[in-house]
Amino acid sequence: MKYKSQKVAYWFFASAILLLSLQIIYGFIMGFAHMGYDGLHSITPFNTARAVHTNLLVVWLLLGFMGAAYYIIPEEAQQELVNVKLAYVQLISFLVVGVIAIVGYHLNYWEGRKFLEIPRPLDWLVVVNVLLFLGLILATLYKGKKKTTTALVLAMGLLFAALLYLPGMIWFDNQTLDSFFRWWVVHLWVEGVWELIMGGILAFLLIKLTGVDREVIEKWLYVIIGLTFLSGILGTGHHYYYIGVGKIWLIVGGIFSMLEPLAFLAMALFAVGMYRKGEKKHPNKLALYWTLGTAIISFVGAGLLGMAHTLPQVNLYTHGTLVTAMHGHLAFWGAYGMIVFSFITFALPNLTGRKLYDTVNGQLAYWLSNIGMAGMTLAFGVAGVAQVYLERKLGLEFGAVQKEIEVHFFVLILMATMFSTGITLFIIEFFRFGKPNDEAIGFEENLKKA
């Protein structure tokens, strides 16, 4: 840490991991419901649990991105954050809106539009909040001494993410149009601008952790985000196959979405390549583990498992089944969950000045969470393939098929328990570091000299 104002990042990270634990609780509620134990139905029916689970996911990831931005931008721009108080105001108001939304989901106050359940009046509060965030980030960048590619890519990703939220706020009478523009938010986020955010954070981490020359890393960053948009924008077509728009999307969406894994492959090759090339031995090995893990698991979860059902011939059968849930979990975890964890692991020692590198708990957290999530993916996958075959190919009734696949949700819960143990250890480690403090300024720089 070089600047006092970077400390605000810590509170974003602390909030993020706490909301993740809440997300997991609601995940368990749904896992049990799928297994046939829906004892909480009267207080938390499945649709409430689901809205809370997925919205908390988005909220904690955004908190992670924001925290990372508050840490990265001052350091890259060589400039204190323009206004630290407002950054705290932004955090608290963001959390307040989140809490209102989640309480609302328990009281039938929502909009049944997958991932965008936040009612429109609250959407406006989100917009104001994000404008405040962007204002702080962009003003800092503008005032700063340097405008590095890494900082620009990160800021561009955040700015576009905010802009793309808007099409999701329009009301349509026609379900097809509703769905059409919902994807401008959901798809163009995760397979577009969020990859810019991820790429920017990844580049920053690799510069710090491997010591490879910035120019080399940033050149590859351009190639990666170039591949992202080249494939991802027209790849939106893979959600337009079967919602009531033309067949042309089957061809265009099919071809371009098949290219989408290239961006993730490039990230994996890039991270591993820079790791090999780098001579510097940064003591924060765990951060390097997480960083390389992110690059690899995101390629598997988003790239390969996305590709598995993206061709129209396949998607006709898998569309809207548990196969989608399988891909959704490993993609969100591998790309965005893990990049946030990587950054937290990297930033904590620098924020607090404590050298808790490479602890046993930290290692266990890494392996348990990742193996657990891989197991969950497998459980969803087996359930999904069985569902597709029995329901869509053989034509058995939905409910009959669900009975057949209940057992896979038992496996899901076992694996989710392993995953949650990993997350719990991560959280314990997080709090062992203690609070961020001004004595940590210069901590990382001194490591290099020593």
Residue ranges that bind Fe ion, judged by CB under 5 A:
187, 191
Asked whether position 282 contacts ligand HEM by CB under 6 A, the answer is: no
Contact with ligand HEM (CB under 6 A): which of 310, 342, 345, 387? 310
Considering the complex, state which of residue 18 and residue 177 has its C-beta at the smaller distance from another protein: 177
Contact with ligand HEM (CB under 6 A): which of 257, 291, 294, 352? 257
Tell me how far, at minimum, the Cβ of 389 lies from another protein, in Å.
8
**Which range in 28-36, 264-272, 363-371, 442-450 contacts another protein by CB under 8 A?**
28-36
Interface mask toward another protein for 236-275; x: CB under 8 A: xx--xxxxxxxxxxx-x---x-------------------
Asked whether position 244 contacts ligand HEM by CB under 6 A, the answer is: no
Asked whether position 7 contacts ligand HEM by CB under 6 A, the answer is: no
Asked whether position 279 contacts another protein by CB under 8 A, the answer is: no
Contact with another protein (CB under 8 A): which of 51, 69, 134, 368? 51
What are the Cα distances from residue 5, in Å, to 9, 16, 87, 134, 354?
A: 8, 19, 9, 16, 18
Asked whether position 320 contacts ligand HEM by CB under 6 A, the answer is: yes
Asked whether position 422 contacts ligand HEM by CB under 6 A, the answer is: no
Q: Three-state SS string across the chain, please?
A: CCCHHHHHHHHHHHHHHHHHHHHHHHHHHHHHHHHCCCCCCCCCCHHHHHHHHHHHHHHHHHHHHHHHHHHHHHHHHCCCCCCHHHHHHHHHHHHHHHHHHHHHHHCCCCCCCCCCCCCHHHHHHHHHHHHHHHHHHHHHHHHCCCCCHHHHHHHHHHHHHHHHHHHHHCCCCCHHHHHHHHHHHHHHHHHHHHHHHHHHHHHHHHHHHHCCCHHHHHHHHHHHHHHHHHHHHHHHHHHCCCCCCCCHHHHHHHHHHHHCHHHHHHHHHHHHHHHHHCCCCCCCHHHHHHHHHHHHHHHHHHHHHHHCCCCHHHHHHHCCCHHHHHHHHHHHHHHHHHHHHHHHHHHHHHHHCCCCCCCHHHHHHHHHHHHHHHHHHHHHHHHHHHHHHHHHHCCCCHHHHHHHCHHHHHHHHHHHHHHHHHHHHHHHHHHHCCCCCHHHCCHHHHHHHC
Asked whether position 121 contacts another protein by CB under 8 A, the answer is: no
Asked whether position 63 contacts ligand HEM by CB under 6 A, the answer is: no
Closest residue to ligand HEM using C-beta atoms: 306
399 binds, among another protein, Fe ion, ligand HEM, none (CB under 5 to 8 A by kind): another protein
Within residues 151-180, the interface with another protein by CB under 8 A covers: 173-180
Asked whether position 327 contacts ligand HEM by CB under 6 A, the answer is: yes
Within residues 203-242, the interface with ligand HEM by CB under 6 A covers: 238
Contact with ligand HEM (CB under 6 A): which of 22, 230, 245, 307? 307
Asked whether position 432 contacts another protein by CB under 8 A, the answer is: no
| CA torsion through residues 426, 440, 12, 432, sign | positive
CA distance 278 to 275: 5
Asked whether position 107 contacts another protein by CB under 8 A, the answer is: no
Asked whether position 102 contacts ligand HEM by CB under 6 A, the answer is: no
Asked whether position 27 contacts ligand HEM by CB under 6 A, the answer is: yes
Asked whether position 319 contacts another protein by CB under 8 A, the answer is: yes
Contact with another protein (CB under 8 A): which of 21, 47, 361, 437? 47
Q: Which residues lie near ligand HEM (CB under 6 A)?
A: 24, 27-28, 30-31, 34, 50, 53-54, 57, 114-115, 186, 190-191, 238, 257, 260-261, 298, 302-303, 306-307, 309-310, 315, 319-320, 324-325, 327-329, 331-333, 335, 337, 412, 416, 419-420
